[in-house]
Amino acid sequence: MRTFDADFYRLKASQADLVARCGGQKRCGEIVGLVQSAVSYVVQRDNPAMFSVAAKLKLERECGDPVVTRVCAELQGWTLERDGAAPGASPANAFAAVAALGTEYADVVSGFAQRTADGNFSRADGAALDRDLADLIAKAEAFRRFIAQRAAGQ
């Protein structure tokens, strides 16, 4: 079995997130012109298959978030910023934002506890936790947009 470095697993996790955000393996295959099994190789954490740049761009455009590109930039020491394009929807109010953030955090903690009840933290546990953390980060980003809108008087 091959072993890969942490950067590889971050890229694989971001590609799995991208597939999930675009509606799953079958839908992604339709968007980029691949069969579902080819997309499944990209999602498998220990398979070296990766999306081509063209496929990644199509999928990121489809979901409206540069999921993989952001990770690639971070691995090189860069961060991405929007150039004025409207971000995703903000929560209706602060209470809804806190509730959504709390729910996602509870999901992370609960999922971690369930997956590690045997006293081990496996690679599969890490993959699942990484997906849960991606959802938590998305809720936190939405809350930060809400706070910024309020600070701006909107």
Query: CA–CA distance from 137 to each of 44, 48, 110 (Å)?
Result: 22, 26, 16
71 lies in the same domain as 121:
no
User: Cα–Cα distance between 152 and 154 in angstroms, integer?
Assistant: 6
User: Residue 39 CB: number of other CB atoms within 10 A?
Assistant: 26
Q: Which amino acid is at 93?
A: N
pTM of the entire predicted model: 0.58
Contacts of 73 (CB under 8 A, 6+ apart): 79, 80
Report if residue 86 sits inside a domain.
no
Domains in the chain, number: 2
Structure-block tokens of residue 102 = 């709390």
* Final residue of a structural domain among 19, 40, 75: 75
Contact 56, 68 (CB under 8 A): yes
Q: Which domain holds residue 20?
A: 6-75
47 lies in the same domain as 99:
no
Report if residue 43 sits inside a domain.
yes
Q: pLDDT tens, 137-149? A: 888 888 888 888 8
Report if residue 89 sits inside a domain.
no
Q: Which amino acid is at 48?
A: P
Q: pLDDT tens, 57-115? A: 999 988 888 999 999 998 998 888 776 545 566 778 889 888 989 999 999 999 999 99
70 lies in the same domain as 115:
no
21 lies in the same domain as 63:
yes
* Final residue of a structural domain among 75, 104, 131: 75
Contacts of 140 (CB under 8 A, 6+ apart): 101
